[in-house]
Amino acid sequence: MDMKVAKKKLGLKEKYRLMTRDLGWEPTYRAKDEVFPYVNYEGIKVHDWDKWEDPFRLTMDSYWKYQAEKERKFYAIIDAHAQNNGHLNITDARYLSALKIFLQAISPGEYAAHKGFARVGREFPGVGTQVACQMQAIDEIRHAQTQIHALSNYNKYYDGFHAFADARDRIWYTSVARSFFDDAMSAGPFEFMIAIGFSFEYVLTNLLFVPFMSGAAYNGDMATVTFGFSAQSDEARHMTLGLECIKFMLEQDPDNLPIVQGWLDKWFWRGFRVLGLVSTMMDYMLPKRVMSWREAWEIYGVENGGALFKDLARYGIRPPKGWDDAEKAIDHMSHQFMLGLYQWSFGTSFHSWIPSDEDMDWLSAKYPTTFDKYYRPRWDHIRKLAAAGTPFKNFGLAKLCQTCQLPVVFTEPDDATMSCHRETEYKGEKYHFCSDGCQHIFDNEPEKYVQAWLPMPSLFQELNGDIGAWMNWVGLRDGEDNGDFVGSRDQRNFDQWRGMATSNL
């Protein structure tokens, strides 16, 4: 009679090896360069793919278990949020503008990252990287889906949520995030890992998913908080994967150092420019604020970023080239961008407004050296124009930066009274930039960035400058989705429903 033998439980390291390294094989009927054609053209030299280590040693069976548990909890909370009219628990309908920007710019970026990781997982020959990229590809599409599901409840009641996919491709301010991900996805596999693993996950995600999600909680939005914190454990793994990729390249060959440094310079600045949207959401669009953009930058930019570059210094890495200019811009960028959003509010799928006295006092306290000197006088002037019935609106189209695609609304690093504008001529055409950083990126890869699709030139080329036709094309309902918040349908509906809910208590 056969005896039952207890199966030996595999250790974590052995289980990880069996479900990653042992799933790979060496190709025989095709050369390896044919199977993985893109891994060499960026110039990165890799001598041993087995040196790639996943610090989490996560296997697919464990991954499904963890994610299923998170899904169960997530959908239980957002179902309760919808059933109990959770949309009326937010502090103020102005908060909805931040959610609209998030849905139009950030959620499609998660989906783009999903497609990118699915691609580079196929392009890397190392089995460890293939498995890690496969999991991150699934993470990113899950993040896009949970964000869309969580915010879909607001679409039942408020304007501006309905055409977020069209907005992502066609509206001028969403092209900032879109161009970031298009740039990353059209790069080689190693550069893509720097773009997403470093710039998106480490630079952007830290400053978005922690302070902004805390702000969502402070403003009563449990749906947004739930998808934010549901994704946060994934983001920690993503940041680790990105940093592991950087260290892996640097340890494989000394010739990789200048290539990696160049990518860090480029993608830090690309990520920092996208943060212009986040800074404005934090400083202006949260009725109740947890912290200012400056305070968030000190924690997640200066402290965390400084620690990262100190760690990488042993490989010869220095802080990114644009670090000093970024630090000088911190006290200005949210104000400059909000002024731009206000004057072009006819072309946005959200509402804008003039800050109240209370808001401006808060901004003055958080930005003592800049707000009262440079920005309060502008808002006071704009308020007088609105009171006189001549609101400050700019119906001219903004000049866009060829690289980051933001309007050229920022000032010189050392002079907040002088607009920053750079220009390059390439093959007989002139190209415009918002900063030295964006100009340097263009000058390094001009053939790539001359192909950029910019919304403003396209409006003239494809629609003959017809603003009405453009609004129809982007799915923008004039007077409903755009314009001033005061008197908007969002404000009226929220106040009415909130009053009805309160009277029924």
Q: What is the DSSP string of 421-447?
A: -EEEEETTEEEEESSHHHHHHHHHSHH
Of the candidates 294, 293, 381, the residue with the CA atom closest to the CA atom of residue 339: 381
pLDDT band at 403 (very low <50, low <70, confident <90, very high): very high
Q: What is the pLDDT of residues 344-395, one digit of tens each?
A: 888 888 889 999 999 999 999 999 999 999 999 999 999 999 999 999 988 8
Q: Where are the domains of the chain?
A: 20-490
**φ, ψ of residue 46 in degrees (nearest 5):** -125, 125
Label residue 480 by pLDDT band (50, 70, 90).
confident
- Specify the range with the lowest mean pLDDT, choosing from 174-188, 207-221, 242-256, 421-435: 207-221
Q: What's the pLDDT score for residue 505?
A: 46
Nearest C-alpha neighbor of 73 from the set 61, 83, 62, 81: 81
Is residue 177 within 8 Å of residue 105, measured between CB atoms? yes
Higher pLDDT, 432 or 468: 432
d(CA 291, CA 277): 16
Q: What is the DSSP letter of 415?
A: E
Residue of higher predicted confidence among 25 and 193: 193
Neighbours of 484 (CB within 10 A): 17
Banded model confidence at residue 453, pLDDT cuts 50, 70, 90: confident
**Of 240 and 381, more confident:** 381
Residue 207 · residue 278 · CB < 8 Å: yes
Element (H, E) at 60: helix 60-83
What is the helix (H) or strand (E) element at residue 98, kind and residue range? helix 95-101
Residue 391 tokens, joined: 């609101």
Judged against a pLDDT cut of 80, whether residue 13 lies above it is answered with no
pLDDT given for residue 502 in this prediction: 56
pLDDT tier for residue 300 given thresholds of 50, 70 and 90? confident
Q: In terms of DSSP H, where are the helices of 317-474?
A: 323-329, 333-343, 357-366, 376-387, 436-444, 446-449, 455-463, 467-474
Tell me: the pLDDT tens digits for 455-473? 877 777 777 767 777 778 7
Q: Which CATH architecture has domain 20-490?
A: Orthogonal Bundle (1.10)
Mean pLDDT of the chain: 89
Q: What is the mean pLDDT of residues 81-94?
A: 91
In our burial notation (b when 16+ CB lie closer than 10 A, e otherwise), range 78-103 reads beebbeeebbeebebbbbbbbbbbbb
Predicted local confidence at residue 143, as pLDDT: 93
pLDDT at 5: 63
What does the block give as tokens for 492? 């009226």
Asked if residue 53 has pLDDT above 80, the reply is no
Paired with 352 in beta bridges are 484
pLDDT tens digits, 334-354: 999 999 999 988 888 888 999
Q: Is residue 17's pLDDT more than 50?
A: yes
The rounded percent of the chain whose pLDDT value lies above 90 is: 57
Q: Which two structure tokens, joined as six digits, stand for 102?
A: 């998030």
Q: List the structure tokens of 461.
A: 């080329």
